[in-house]
Each structure stands twice: as structure tokens, then as C-alpha cells.
Chains A and B, each alone.
Chain A
Amino acid sequence: MHRQLMKGNEAIIRSAILAGCRAFYGYPITPASEIAEAAAIYMPEAGGVFLQAESEVAAINMIYGAAAAGERAMTASSGPGISLMQEGVSYMAGAELPCVIVDITRAGPGLGNIASEQGDYHQVVKGGGHGNYRTLVLAPHSVQEMADLTALAFELADRYRNPVVVMADGFIGQMMEPVEFPTTATSPRIPKWAVAGTEESRGNLISSIHLEPDKQEAHERQLEAKYTIAQRREARAEEWWTDTADIVLVGYGIAARILKAVAAEARAEGLRVGVLRPITLFPFPAEHFRRAAAHAQVFLVVEMSNGQLLEDVRLALNGARPAEFLNRMGGNVPSHAEVLESVHSLAQQIPPAEERQGLVAHV
């Protein structure tokens, strides 16, 4: 085992290259720039392409070109840049091109500030561009996951021929933790559908146009079918003591780290508290929530945005259990103390176990 201390943003690019990515096109933005800076060093060394584009709009369209030519390609940005890329993401989903987009989120709307926030949830998880499409979204909460989920993102992007977003807050990008990488690099073959400037690929076409409404509808239904399969197969979540929890804390990214610390302390106090951390935000791990709802009395959603995650949690719970809410915004992080206080307050509202005999959750 060879563990190295490394920033999340630096782990991402190493993992991407090990996974066979050989094209990085990006545009500087805090707090994601280290990813481009690392790519500028390592991509050419590994025989790949690095180019700083004239804008995020150009960058995502370069990704479109590299992906169309059959290369594993990626970019990285933060909220304002992701907004600019949304047109290109829609085109890629429409043309069924794989790519990995890293969003190291910051506070907004507008220019906001460069501190950690999770306000990109809607624009990333719900598909911020035009039309009927989805992006698969992975939410690392550690440096190790920055590496592991980036590698997974390339696999999923190829498997579903669709953009995959790795969404982390600035803390996860900026912090250093021990990380371990695979000892071998992979080199995927050029996909059959790619336009690679070869005789075999001459008949291929990359396009998102279907002029006939029936054909366009069939295309969109086929995309939808892929997303349905992804929902069935790819939903991932981490469960910490949720099987014995009365109170389930819900959060992703840096918030989830705080929740784990709070849950550990609450458990030490004798409170039945667990953590449910979505790892995939789309597909949303609704099944995990339904399972947890069978035991839990209440869910507490802790996020660094205005209830964007809360909406999906409530949809997943479908009224089976209440979902309470604690959030901070603007670059502030929910403190250990305030989350613990909410847990204490919820614990007092939960009837003792003996009074709950016979009450069965209908989920």
C-alpha cells in the first residue's frame, strides 16, 4: 500500500490519466484551477493533450470534439464556468458522447465568492442545459474518493455514453489526505462509434439532430431508457449505522464529513444516530432512503445550499418520514455544534422506543 498526502484537486488528474484520459481542455477558475494546472504538467507527459481554452464555452466544445474522436476527455470548472458549459453538456448528452466534468463548487449566484457552497446541485444534478437529458453525478467526500470516483466517472461515461459530473465542494478539492492509486494504468480502445479520421470510422456521424419528431422522440426515449438503467444499477450511497438509527443525518461532500463526526459523538452519548451519504446524486439513491425509513423516525438534511438536496430527499421518502433541514450558505459550513444541537433537539421529540411498539413505517 502506497499512500500519499495529496490535494483532492491533484488526485483527480492523476486518477484521470491512470483511467486513460488523454485530453483536458479547461479555463481557469477558483477553486478548480489546480486541476488544470496539474493537467498542464501531466497530460503532455502522458502523451495527452492539455489546452487552456478561450472560454468555458470553447472548452466544453473541445471536449465534444475530443470525445467525438474517441478520446477519454475531461474538463474542470466551478459554478460560473459550469453555467457556461451547459449548452455543450446538452449537446454531448444529445450526441451521446462520454466525458467527465469536474465541478469544484463555490458560492453563488453570480460571482458570489470562492468559498465552499453546494448551490450547484440543481444545475448539475437536474441538468442545467436545454432538453430532456441527465448527467450522472458523483459526489466525493474525501481525497481518496476524488481519485476513485473520477476513475468510476470515466467508466460510467463510456458505459452510458453520457457526460458524468464529479461534483465536490472547494474543501474537498483543496484539502490534503492520504490517497492510494491503482498501480497500473489503463488504455481504453477507440470506441466503434467514434469519428477518428480512419477508414473504419469513415461512415460514422456524431450529431444530436433528428428532424422528424418521431425520430427525435425515439431518440429521447432511448436516452431515457439509459437513465432508467442507470437509476437501477448505479445508485450509490454510504450508510453509517442507518440500520439502527432513529435519526438519520443526510449530506454529501464536506457536510457529510461533519455529519460523521456528529453521529460519532451522538452515538457516544447513547443517541441512535446514523448518516446516509449519497455518493451518486443522479441517480439519487432513493432505495437507500426507503430502507433507512423503515427504522428511522426522522431525517435531518444538512446542506450548504437552499434546500436543493432536501427536495430529492423528500421525493425519495415520499412522506414516509419527516425530513428536517439545516443549512448554511455563502461559503459557511454547518458547524459540528449546530448540527449536534439539532440532533439533540430532534432526539427530544422522538417518542421512546417502547411507545413506538406496533408503529410500522409504511414505505
Chain B
Amino acid sequence: MSEETEYEIALSRPKAFYSAFERKEELQHQTHYCPGCGHGIVHKMLAQAIDSLEIQNRTVLISPVGCSVFAYYYFDVGNIQAAHGRASAVATAVKRTRPDSIVISYQGDGDLAAIGSAEILHAANRGENITVIFVNNTIYSMTGGQVAPTTLLGQVSTTTPKGRQAGNEGYPLHVSELLATLQAPVYIERVGLGDNRQIAQAARAVRRAVENQARGLGFSFVEILSPCPTIWKMSPVEAQHWVRDVMEKTFPLGVLRDLIAQAEPRPVPRPAPSLDEIPRILGVAPPAPAASAERSSPKPASPLDLQVRVAGFGGQGVLLLGEMLAEAGLDAGLEVSWLPSYGPEMRSGTSNCHVRLAQEPVDSPLVAHPDVLVAMNEPSLIKFAATVRRGGWIVYNGEAVPAECPAEGVHILARPFTHIADELGDARAANMLMLGALLEIAGSLPQASVDAALMRLVKSPRWLELDERAMTRGRELFQEAFEGVRR
């Protein structure tokens, strides 16, 4: 024991690495990376950063599809393997769900710059508080060397056998420069693994990018130019020199964004409300006992079973009319349904809805043969008049039902409701006039339930007053026309 004290350990395996790679099928003492591959170096600098920032327990590493798909073999941290290109989307949600975690998205150039270009762009633009390590080796290595967005002009790949041509594959994509056009990122730097000096700088950049997240500063991105001797068909030494001597000419190294000094830690999310508060927040909590006792639902005077179709132009308040009727029915203790027609029936800007009020649960909410058609314009009248059941009613917004309209065997109340509403104060109250008439036809729906529905759906005092008047006037118009007649 005593001789150990004579040595100081200057370099050792980072704690953030497993001591044996047990998730690997074989050769558990070494990585799956090829000799001279840059991933081993980048892994080490990342593990050292995790160690030095003492965040191993909080770290979640997102591994991509590509050569680093198996990063979880090596990192003794929480590990999530993502679909091709989607690592920064996955990282986004992990971080937002667990704000205390340190989320590192580790991606190659095929993964990030091609199939995942949308996900990285938007994660960066949102300024997600994550760290992205982007290992750029200009090629799809895992799949055997196909052209990547980052492949240099003239560079041979299995899918650019004569070399990349700008006219066919476009130009090398400069992801760091692209992201540096965005406002949100805090830190963007391109580094290389071309020689020891570059590697030392790369390690500093990786550490900063992780530290920024630990400090809550925002989106940090490090692009690392990295050798791939196997696919490049070079020796490890040649490949490293190629990074420094060739690759760097297309992808200049340097800091493209550094707002670390100015960046404020992102706001901490509000604490979640207690579970008891959730029903109230959602507006589904039952009303306080006192209030509900005060307003017990009046029951309809007689059993009510009513099928209504309301139709008109968009903007005439067709849907609101129907909803008001359904709300009133529900308040009166009836079973109700309200179904807006949309799709093919909505062509030419017409709007219509089906409303059912019934004693028993409503089977079909679709009203094929209404007891009452409320037609707020002529096209709606023409379209639906023939569907009204014999002995039913049509309430029509017009002086009279046109002669050609098929309306035999039905009662008709035709009045220029829009005009009458205009005289009452606003033409848009025509729907409530017609609802008033409809309520007379429905007969037994208690006024208290109608008032309750009105209060629930109409918030403006001006409209509340006008709608009440309009409804009353609508009832009168019906009574004047059909004194003593009830459905």
C-alpha cells in the first residue's frame, strides 16, 4: 500500500465509461470502432467532460443510427437509442420531461445533416437546452461509404463512384454555419481531430458544450471533423492528416457562436399544480354543492324527443344555435347530441348541424329526417326541405318559402329574421330569433334551462341582453303565427 502513495494517477479511464463493455456480444474489453476512428477520441473527451462536471448520474446519452449507434456499450450513463436522424427530437422531449437531466445527442453526419436535418434545425431554433455532438467524417461509414451531405467535392464514395459533383449532389453542407444563422443557439464551434493541438481544443469545446447545459444556458453544438480510415481507405495516420490538411479547407475550424457570457439561465418551469387542482384546471370539477343545489335542473313538462337540423351560411351562428339547444336540453336532464356537418356538406361555405334531444341515450347523432329544419338561407332550405318528416316544421329566414320548394305536409314559419334582428339591434341575432321560434315548437323545454345555456355560451353582456330579447321576440313571432298550436 505504501508504495502507491508515491504515484499520482495522471490519466485513467473516465468513470463515465463502463469498465467492461457487457452490452457488447464479444471482445468486451475493446470498442467496436475501427483503428484510427475518431469516435473513440470523441467518446473519451465526452466521458471526461461528464466526469469533470460530476454529472454522470444526471446524464442521458442519445445514440443515433450510424457507427455510434452502440455508444451505449461504453457510457455508464442513462442511454436511449434513437431512430435514424431523430436523436435531437428525442433529446428535446427527454430534456423537457426531465429538466434536471443532462441530455447529450450524439450524431454523425449522415444522421444529423441528411435525414435528421429538420430535427436538428428546429431543436437548435427552439434553443433546446441540450448538447449536440456532431461527428462529421464526410461519409456514411456504417452502411459502407455512401455519399453524405458533408462529402467533399470530388470525394469518391460508393454512390458517387466518380467523385461528388456539385451539379449532381450539390455542395458540402455546412451545418455549423447554417445553425449559426439562427438566433437561439448559445454556442456553436467546429473543431477537428487532425492533430494533438486540434484534439485538445476539441476536448475543451465538448466540455464547454456540456457545461453550458449544466448551467442551463441553452443549445450548444460542437461539430467535430473526424477521421474514418476504413472508408477513406487510408492508414490511421494518413486519415488524421487528411482531416487537418484537406477536410479543414472545406470546413474551417472555429467558434461560430458564443453567447455564453451573455446567456441567462433559462427560466425554470413553474412547479406543477397538485393533483387535487387538476379537475378544476381542466374545467371538469363538479360545481360546489351549494351552487348545484341552488340550480337543480328543471325537468321538461312533458317527454321530449326532438331531431333538429340547423343550416345556413358560415357566420350566421348556425352552430351556436344548435349548441344552445343542446346545452339547454342537457340542463333539462335530457340526453343530447350536437354534430356539425363538415367535409362534403360544407362546400360553398354553408354550415349545418344536427341536434338531438331525447329521453333515452341518443343512438345516431345524425339527423336524417328532422322534426324541425331551421333554414337560415335559401340554399339550405332547398337542400333540406324535403328531408323534414311529415308533420314537422320548417323555420325559414325569408319572407316566404319559394313555390318550387318541396315542403308538403310540414308546418312553415317564414319570416325575414335577419331583417327583424337588424331592427332589434344586430342582424347577427337572427339565429337567436329563430331559436326562440324553435323553442316554442319544442314546447316543453324549461326557460330556466334555456337561460342557463345562454349564460354558459354567451359571455358579452351586450350580446346576452340582445340574444334574450331576440329569443323572446322569436317566441312571439311563432305565437302570432300559430296561436294555440304546439308540436
Contact = CB atoms under 8 A, between A and B. Distances in A.
Contacts of B281: 42, 45-46
Contact of B118 (A54, A64, A206): A54
B122 A185 contact: no
A208 B339 contact: no
A229 interface: no
B340 A177 contact: no
Contacts of B12: none
A257 B363 contact: yes
B81 A197 contact: no
Contacts of A14: 282-284
Interface stretch (A282-290, A319-327, A330-338, A349-357): A330-338
Interface string B89-124: 111111011101111000000000000001101100
Interface in A202-257: 202-209, 211-212, 254, 257
B184 to A, nearest CB: 14
A205 B86 contact: no
B93 A62 contact: yes
Interface string A43-58: 0011111010111011
A196 B77 CA distance: 10
B365 interface: yes
B282 A17 contact: yes
Interface in A65-97: 65-66, 68-71, 73, 87-88, 91, 95
The bracket for how many chain B residues form the interface is 35 or more
A178 interface: yes
Question: Chain B: interface secondary structure?
Answer: mixed
A68 B103 CA distance: 13
A132 interface: no
Given A68-B80, A332-B344, A261 B93 contact: no
A266 interface: no
A68 B63 CA distance: 13
Contacts of A87: 83
Given A47-B273, A53-B89, A207-B81, A183 B344 contact: no
Given A65-B91, A177-B362, A196 B98 contact: yes
Contacts of B286: 2, 183
A224 B208 CA distance: 46
Contacts of A363: none
B343 A114 contact: yes
A171 B339 contact: yes
Interface string A164-178: 000000110011111
30 contacts: A2-B284, A3-B330, A4-B283, A4-B284, A5-B336, A14-B284, A17-B282, A18-B284, A23-B93, A23-B97, A31-B342, A49-B97, A65-B62, A69-B97, A87-B83, A88-B86, A116-B343, A175-B365, A178-B336, A183-B285, A185-B278, A195-B79, A202-B56, A206-B80, A206-B81, A209-B69, A209-B81, A257-B363, A258-B364, A258-B366
Interface of A: 2-5, 14, 17-18, 22-23, 25, 31, 42, 45-49, 51, 53-55, 57-59, 61-66, 68-71, 73, 87-88, 91, 95, 107, 113-116, 170-171, 174-178, 181, 183-187, 195-199, 201-209, 211-212, 254, 257-258, 260-261, 264, 330-333, 335-337
